[in-house]
Amino acid sequence: MILTRLLHSKWLKVQETCGVFTNELLRIFRDPGVLVIFFVATLAYPVLYNFIYWKDNIENVPVAVVDMSHSQESRAFLHKWNAAPDISITHYCTSMSEAEQLLRAQKIHGIIYFPSDFAVCLNTGMKTAHISLYCDMSSFLYMKAIYLSCNRVMLEDMSRIQVDRYEAMGYDKQFAWELVQAAPYTETALFCESGGYASFLIPAVLMLILHQTLLFGICMLGGTAREENDELFRLPGRRRGYSVLRITLGRSAAYFLIYLALGAVVLLGVPRVFHLPHIGDPIAILKLLVPYLLAVIYFSMSVSVFTRNRESGMVVLISSSLIFLFIAGVSWPQQMLPDAWRYLSYFFPYTWGVHGFLHINTMGASLATTAREYTALWLLAGGYFLTTCISLWIMGYRHDHLQQTSAPE
């Protein structure tokens, strides 16, 4: 008899959890805005970003020259620069205003300017010789091609000038080269052979897209519930009593089911379709995806408790996207961040998820090698699961308490 009651009780709890799961799926598929965020945005953004940066590197970017020096040194510099495959000198202008008009008309994407004292400063060494470089920032690819190619020529010329000065001081040429470059080295790109922007950025953006669309969609659902006075802390069909454990598990299962499929498509399909780095084990990526999605889901559910309306999710999305990219060490080395920001980044699932994904997908690491990120994601998933349960319990308790205090005696 006791065993029968226990099994019946367990079965009712499973039924209630399944009811929450089904109800949450219905809420998702009945909300056009959430459908757009979950499905359209999650699948469209990776394609859009890849089309923007379809070419890792672009060649023959048109640039203009404003040479006020008219010297042998400036012409030699331009000859070497124009030999680079990245740029092509298409215009020689007599003034900066003429070059600026070409830049505004999009006939060129960069300007190099040599001042009139360039050769004098270079030969006498009394003052520093300056070169001004202007880049079209409408695309980072233009800036990268122009800046890096110019920088290579400049570094080569600087080495040559130093050697010439050492030779003028009476040093042997071989010894002069050893003074300039005591330890010869060869630059080798390990995990981004093309040096392209897409190969570097897009894999990190894929993880951010999963994070931010989940966060935005769950906050939209939470804001909608608050606007409609829907008691998300209560089991479907009940007016009294609530079980935050079953509610949290049921709702999170609905999000997890959807995003496990979407995440597999985004993380495994997109890099292969667009020829991004993908040397990692797909099974290891899926294993990493599981705690990452759970951590993001429970983090988003914790945040959604504080959303008052549907529009609040957009505010959270806009205000956090660039911050996540920055403090996670994607757009700036994490080791160079202030300690406060670096420690703060550890509380966000994206930080651990993006490093784990890059280690496996781009660098070919195993899941055991990425154990630090993998363990951190499980810890975050457990921590945010507790915060979600506590937040829902507090919300339900306050709601019932207010109803009791406002009820007529």
pLDDT, one tens digit per residue, over 23-82 is 889 889 988 988 999 999 999 999 888 887 777 678 889 999 999 988 888 898 899 999
What is the pLDDT at residue 396? 67
pLDDT band at 400 (very low <50, low <70, confident <90, very high): low
One-letter identity of residue 384: Y
What is the pLDDT at residue 402? 52
pLDDT band at 8 (very low <50, low <70, confident <90, very high): very low
Task: Provide the β-strand partners of residue 67.
Answer: 114
Q: Is 93 helix (H, G, I), strand (E, B) or coil?
A: strand
What is the pLDDT at residue 260? 95
Give the predicted TM-score (pTM) of the model. Answer: 0.79
Contacts 24+ apart (CB under 8 A), 390-394: 390/244, 391/302, 391/305, 392/232, 392/233, 392/242, 392/244, 392/247, 392/248, 392/305, 393/233, 393/242, 393/244
CA 188, CA 267: separation in Å to the nearest integer?
27
Q: Give start-end residues of each CATH 3.40.1710.10 domain in the chain.
A: 61-180
Instruction: Return the CATH class of domain 61-180.
Output: alpha beta
CA 172, CA 180: separation in Å to the nearest integer?
12
User: Cβ–Cβ contacts within 10 Å for residue 45, how many?
Assistant: 19
Q: Is 65 helix (H, G, I), strand (E, B) or coil?
A: strand
Task: Provide the β-strand partners of residue 91.
Answer: 64
Spatial strand order in the sheet of 87-93:
87-93, 61-67, 110-114, 132-135
Q: pLDDT by residue (tens digit) across 244-258?
A: 888 888 889 999 999
pLDDT at residue 6 above 50?
no
CA 158, CA 147: separation in Å to the nearest integer?
16
Report DSSP state, residue 37.
I
